[in-house]
Amino acid sequence: MTYALVRRLPLLGRVRLVEADSALVRLDLEGKGALPPLPQAEERATPLLEAAAAQLADYLAGARRAFDLPLAPKGTDFQKKVWRALLAIPYGETRAYKAIAAAVGSPRACRAVGLANNRNPIAVIIPCHRVIGADGRLGGYGGGLELKAALLRLEQEAAGRG
């Protein structure tokens, strides 16, 4: 069964968390448009979805640096390899697309890493916002560049306190 929970969170606005088979499979950001329909999911506040919402709220308050949630993002083997590499980027730090490509054993696959980032179904929790261009530019972000910059600023400020 698939369950979904919609919450309004600081900085992010409305988000939808989606659980399937006792793991988090999606985090949809409302962004500039409405949340896309998800007819196959039953709206229910499961313990996992409530924990995910609470951990996100703590993260956004600068009180959490890592998430402790079962994740099962759906994607290709390469995408999953990239997403695992993103989880290894320390809080408050960034990595270039090129560095992620090298980390997954495909040093010439910068564009493929960018596409995997773009397809990340659990943004923020799988921290694709920590990936930037080799020249230091932000690059793209599904939630918008303003949000990406705000998340990076939040992490850098919180890391500076700790």
Give the active site residue among 17, 89, 101, 128. Answer: 128
Sign of torsion over alpha carbons 29, 59, 26, 5? negative
Rounded Cα–Cα distance for residues 115 and 138 (Å)? 15
What is the rounded radius of gyration, in angstroms, for the C-alpha atoms of the chain? 15
b/e burial code for range 4-41 (CB count within 10 A of at least 16 → b): bbbbebeebeebbbbbbeeebbbbbbbbeeeeeeeeeb
Which is nearest to 124 in space by CA: 8, 2, 17? 17
Residue 79 is given by DSSP the state: H
> Catalytic site residue 128?
yes
Strands 42-43 and 23-29: unpaired
Rounded Cα–Cα distance for residues 76 and 114 (Å)? 14
Which sequence positions are flagged as catalytic?
128
